[in-house]
Amino acid sequence: MKIYIAGFQHETNTFVETPAGYEAFNEAFGPVRRGEAVNQLISLNVPIGGFLSAIKETDHEIIPGVWAVATPSGRVTKDAYERIVGEILDGIRHAEADAVYLDLHGAMVAEHFDDGEGELLRRVREIVGPAIPVIASLDLHANVTQCMLEQSDGLVAYRTYPHVDMAEAGRRAARLLYSRIDAGGQWRKYARRVPFLIPINAMCTDAEPSRGLYAQLESLEHGAVASLSFTPGFPAADFPECGPLVFGYGTDADELSRVVDALHERVVSNERDWSIAFLSADEAVVESMRLSQEADRPVIIADTQDNPGAGAASNATDLLRALVMHGAQRAAVGLFWDPDAVEIAHRAGTGASVELALGTASGNPFSGRFVVEALSTGRCECDGPMLKGVTVELGRTACLRIDDVRVVVTSNRMQIMDRALYRVAGVVPEEMKILVNKSSVHFRADFEPIAQAVLIAKSDGSMAADPADLPWTALGDGMRVSPGGPRFERGKRHGDATNRCA
């Protein structure tokens, strides 16, 4: 076969006003890749890399298109969407391929389409017709829509959060392609929606209830059941099909519906187990200081509401303020997004003392005198389980110290998923007593092995950790806004209207 491949990934928080323009797809993960540069992803833990490695073992021909990824934010601009989608579609038109594989996220919302991936798949299908197989891999946080299901032959999602199996999801997409071809007219699909939103912290697959659910899912995937997926969803996209889905593919309709129904029942019958408890910023700092007194490993605080990986600005100051107020020792915060502060630090130089306000764009700045401990270009290669071998671009970066608290400040927004993102600014994470990570779960893959304990804090960040706190307006009627929470009703006020992000 000739297989056309491409990728377009963005996780969209519709409660965030900052859009993702075309330039956003040329920042943290480097420039948009094309042609041979796409083939070079084969060794990385990304879905398209896993797909490439699986196809490499066959005689099939790969026709690489474009691969574009951006840090989560508000809606993808119409310009960015149409430019990247247009390039993907032009490649398909010229490829005359026998199959199409797309590396997608599944929770993209554009300025002009709520269902970014569904619209892309619809356009792909319009070009290739009904006979050409169209397969896509998805993030675990995908909000899978009916259009996505209808316009594709197979969708397969990650099974880990932190996402250590991204490449494996790509390999499973290759196997799904073969299964689809072998099945011919016997191919079936089946899906069940879950009637409540799940907080992202509760989706961690290293803990229950996710761990057991995915273990059962894998045990049921065999024989006539070719593929099963559970996508807990991204609970910050205000459109009717936001939410979790269980779905699968196979050649026996009865068996497929039986196993999908069983997984669906496991999720909904344990609804309240998907809730999660949080500490305030002050409580988290006080507890971390207590735990770290006799510890020889750092205590980690997840600053989950300021997680740029979920669309937050990564410039909230609650936890920084609490660390300084309580006199925390050997503490570090990362990654704090403030290009203006980075510029001041680089002008002043290493060793200088500067008076500045961090996080002015957050509306709640923290002012003080900082020592510029280290400066960097922000370019580094990751070596943790999620991003091993991936080069990231944080932009110009600075380590600013106030008392015994260090803040790694960057020019580009990025979630801290790898210890290398501290080291690039001169901070050795293993030597800290307290680490405040602006992340929800992804940091666990590389940081939990060195952690004395992990605490989850709700700071003044702009990504609501509890979806019930969001001011929903367009969610599906009857969807519960949290596990065991109230049902959404159109026209009724929901959540906290002051929580809409800037």
Kindly report, residue by residue over 95-113, the tens digit of the pLDDT.
999 999 999 999 999 999 9
What are 345-373's pLDDT values in tens digits? 999 999 999 999 999 999 999 999 999 99
Residue 499, pLDDT > 80, answer: no
Report the sign of the C-alpha dihedral through residues 428, 430, 436, 439, in that order. positive
Q: How far is CA 137 from CA 58, 120, 315, 322, 416, in A?
A: 20, 14, 32, 41, 24
Which pLDDT belongs to residue 29? 82
Residue 129, pLDDT > 90, answer: yes
Average pLDDT over residues 71-100: 97
Q: Work out the pLDDT band at 462, boundaries 50, 70, 90.
A: confident
Distance CA 304, CA 198 (A): 14
Which pLDDT belongs to residue 502? 24
Average pLDDT over residues 305-334: 96
Distance CA 285, CA 457 (A): 9
Q: Is 308 left (phi over 0), alpha (psi -120 to 50) or beta?
A: alpha
Contacts of 73 (CB under 8 A, 6+ apart): 10, 12, 13, 16, 18, 19, 20, 24, 311, 413
Residue 199, pLDDT > 60, answer: yes
Distance CA 49, CA 45 (A): 7
CB 364 within 8 A of CB 317: yes
Task: Read off the tokens for 92.
Answer: 């398909």
Which pLDDT belongs to residue 496? 47
Q: Work out the pLDDT band at 497, boundaries 50, 70, 90.
A: very low
Residue 500, pLDDT > 60, answer: no
Which pLDDT belongs to residue 30? 81
Q: Is the bond into 44 cis (omega within 30 degrees of 0)?
A: no
pTM of the prediction? 0.92
Distance CA 297, CA 449 (A): 10
Q: Is the bond into 162 cis (omega within 30 degrees of 0)?
A: yes
Q: What is the per-residue DSSP string for 64-124?
A: EEEEEE---BSPBPHHHHHHHHHHHHHHHHHH--SEEEEEE-S---BSS-S-HHHHHHHHH
Share of the chain above pLDDT 90, in %: 94
Average pLDDT over residues 196-201: 97
3-state SS class at 162: coil
Average pLDDT over residues 47-56: 97
In degrees, rounded to 5, the angle at the alpha carbon of residue 38 between the alpha carbons of residues 34 and 44 is 150
Residue 293 per-residue DSSP state: S
CB 404 within 8 A of CB 330: yes
What are 138-149's pLDDT values in tens digits? 999 999 999 999
Which pLDDT belongs to residue 494? 55
Residue 498, pLDDT > 60, answer: no
Residue 493, pLDDT > 80, answer: no
Per the model's pLDDT, the better-predicted residue between 50 and 489 turns out to be 50
Residue 461, pLDDT > 90, answer: no
Task: Read off the tokens for 357.
Answer: 């306000």
Task: Read off the tokens for 179.
Answer: 């299964």
Distance CA 97, CA 111 (A): 30
Q: Work out the pLDDT band at 37, boundaries 50, 70, 90.
A: very high
What are 428-457's pLDDT values in tens digits? 999 999 999 999 999 999 999 999 999 999
